[in-house]
Amino acid sequence: MPDRLHFFDLDRSQLEAMLLDLGLPRYRAEQLLRWVYQRQVVDVDQMSDWSQSDRQLLREHLQFCDLGLCAHQSAGDGTQKLLLTMGGDGSDGGLLPQASSDGERTTECVMIPASNPDDTMRRTACISSQVGCPVGCRFCASGLGGLETNLTAGQIVEQVWHLQQVTTASGAPGTPGGGEAGGRISNVVFMGMGEPLANFEQVTRAIRTLNADWGMGISGRKITVSTVGLPTPIRRLAELQIPITLAISLHAPNDVLRRELIPWADRISIAELIDAARHYFAQTKREVTLEYILLREVNDRPEHARELAELAGRLRCNVNLIRYNEVKGLPYNRPTSDDVQRFQHVLRKAGVNAHIRASRGRDIAAACGQLRHERPR
């Protein structure tokens, strides 16, 4: 039924309007939102407070899932990776693998479990905003095949819903506290495939649904948008009025080296990025995160750390240091632990709040920089 609307693409007012057009009362929208977002149910036959005739209307006018599960991998540390193919009919809620062909478009998303200092569990959904990536960072798998298409707001939100399904079913085994099924996704990071701010309208629509109390109900402070750095969209993002975290993928402390690593850096200088980041903080009062992939003997020397410390001193920010995660066929190596610690020490000595991010899911190619546009197998 090609004329059916995608449920996850609708906000509450749009869903109410659609149901009113079908002759259904307004309260039906609230019931439907509860079934899908709170109870994780998309099978209309399970919606016990709907009559048979009303369920049939839903089947005829709504497509609940547009993404079908093509592959599901579990890492030894509890990380879960999904390969999703476009064109799922939602009949099984996306939990069962679906047949697929070589011509279908796919995207990947990841759920990363971790323990908080208070022993509660943090479950982070790392999601994609595009199929492939247009930026083409030299060290990243996501852009190897270029950009194929933007994802819709509904497809972006649906990734989090699928990850919640898997999290509820599996309880993220292998992680302290992870065997407890039923935990909720607590954080969302736009750090999967794609450049989120190059798909601005769909990404910001998705953020509103993820944040809404009628939607996924995830605090804005637990939503992070990671960008290679597009100054104009960064300024627009500051007007969203949802206190999300902005992360800028810097990866080099000077323009010459950054242009070697990131093709889009030819268009935008680091000075322009710092200016946009300062604007973002002024508007939102949210500290910006500078992300820095450490490539062995490329950008991980003490002189690079000193340059980065000088940049970080120009704005309210913290720095996430990320060890390079190997990608087959690319000419980069993972830095040594000693070099990573030395790099962090230089930053901290200069007064920079610098953290080393743990690599999660490396054994299933789910770590930072390893997600790619795969063909279904």
User: Which residues participate in catalysis according to the annotation?
Assistant: 108, 368
CA quadruple 28, 31, 32, 37: dihedral sign? positive
d(CA 42, CA 152): 19
Distance of alpha carbon 336 from alpha carbon 296, whole angstroms: 7
Start-end of H helices in 330-370: 337-349
Contact yes or no for 228/249 (Cβ under 8 A): yes
Tell me how crowded residue 276 is: count the other CB atoms within 10 A of its CB. 24
Sequence-ordered strand ranges (E) for the chain:
5-6, 62-63, 67-74, 80-86, 106-115, 121-126, 130-132, 147-150, 187-190, 223-227, 245-249, 288-294, 317-323, 354-357
- Taking CA atoms, 172 is separated from 80, 92, 160, 166, 363, in Å, by 7, 21, 15, 8, 15
Burial class (CB in 10 A: 0-12, 13-18, 19+), 161: buried
Residue labelled with tokens 């206190």: 243
How many Cα atoms occupy the beta-carbon half-sphere of 122 within 13 Å?
Answer: 13
